[in-house]
Amino acid sequence: MDETGWSWTQRALFLAVVLAWGLNYLFVDVGLTAASPLWLALLRAGVGCAATAPLLLRNRSSAPLDRRGVRDAMLLGIPNTGLFLALWFLAAQDVLPGFAAVVIYTFPLWVALLARPFLGQVLTTTQTAAIAAGFVGVALVSQVWQVAAGTGLLLPLAALLGAALCWALGTVLFQRRFRPEHALDANAWGLLGGSLFLAATVALVAPEPLPGFGSPALWESVAWLGLVGTGVAYACWYTLLARTRAATLSAYLFLVPVVALAASAVFFGERLGPIQVVGVGLVLVSLLGVGRRPARPGPSGAP
């Protein structure tokens, strides 16, 4: 494992992960032109699960999960995949990709807060300050004073924060339940559990019209989100985890919302005001500060 510097292969793999997860936010907006949020979430999770299966078969761990492990991984897939994607995609109907990415990437801040009660990890003064700065940054990006005045962003903002919290809760519980060598197996079963939850939600809880299966936009979106944003990105991520400290990787994932913001500016004309730019800066600095703490690798179901 490289502790002193990254090879060109590691840099290329990390760039692929950041681009895949950053551009996911744009392809969600593309997919929503042809499918409802829950259908798109189901298609992304299902295709992602199928795309990850070969990776699981090729890299079978020496200690595969037992039946209880499979059950627990599928249950954790409900918050970590099912609820996370559902809330994110529902909110994406009303906000631009860059905004969504910045709010969802409060995820490390929620992980740091949840790690104490669930994992017994105590925050340092620097980490506490970073968390506070991160939430101030989100307040500036979302301009909560306007949300309070009724701009229609209250529900999308709450859904995005809820998505980040679900992702963080699933991650912390995953770290508490599974050993690092079981991460790949558990993530694959978690994707299946999340997919089944979304299928049940679409069929029983919130029946919705079928998506436009003849739409090229839908299949472009699903192909990217499922095959590239999940299958390829997972392969790159687990290769990196085998060669690079997880804490180092986590610290630099703050680049994902940067990619989403830049791409949204180019393709959707998303622009931030001066106060929002300051807020983005606070969020990115806080993610870097929180992400540098040592941690075990958790679910890689990053957006």
Over residues 207-255, the pLDDT tens digits come to 767 788 888 999 999 999 999 998 888 878 877 766 766 556 666 777 8
Is 6 a member of any domain?
no
Is 166 a member of any domain?
yes
Average pLDDT in the chain: 83
Is 207 a member of any domain?
yes
Instruction: Confirm if 35 and 156 have CB atoms less than 8 A apart.
Output: no
> For the chain, how many residues are written?
303
Q: How far is CA 98 from the centre of its chain?
A: 14
Is 223 a member of any domain?
yes
Is 262 a member of any domain?
yes
Closest Cα partner for 256 from 297, 212, 291?
291
Over residues 166-220, the pLDDT tens digits come to 988 988 888 888 887 787 788 888 999 999 999 999 988 767 677 888 889 999 9
56 pLDDT above the threshold of 80: no
Is 298 a member of any domain?
no
Q: pTM score, two decimals?
A: 0.85
Binned at pLDDT 50, 70 and 90, residue 8 comes out as: confident
Over residues 244-263, the pLDDT tens digits come to 665 566 667 778 888 888 89
Q: What b/e sequence results for 60-91 when a residue is b if at least 16 CB atoms lie within 10 Å of its CB, and e otherwise?
A: eeeeebeeebbebbbbbbbbbbbbbbbbbbbb
Instruction: Confirm if 291 and 284 have CB atoms less than 8 A apart.
Output: no
Q: Residue 75 has which token pair?
A: 């249950």
130 pLDDT above the threshold of 90: no
Which residues span the domain enclosing 49? 16-291
Is 139 a member of any domain?
yes
Number of domains the chain is built from = 1
Is 9 a member of any domain?
no
Q: Residue 85 has which token pair?
A: 């994607």
Over residues 70-126, the pLDDT tens digits come to 999 999 999 999 999 999 999 999 998 988 998 898 887 888 888 778 877 777 788
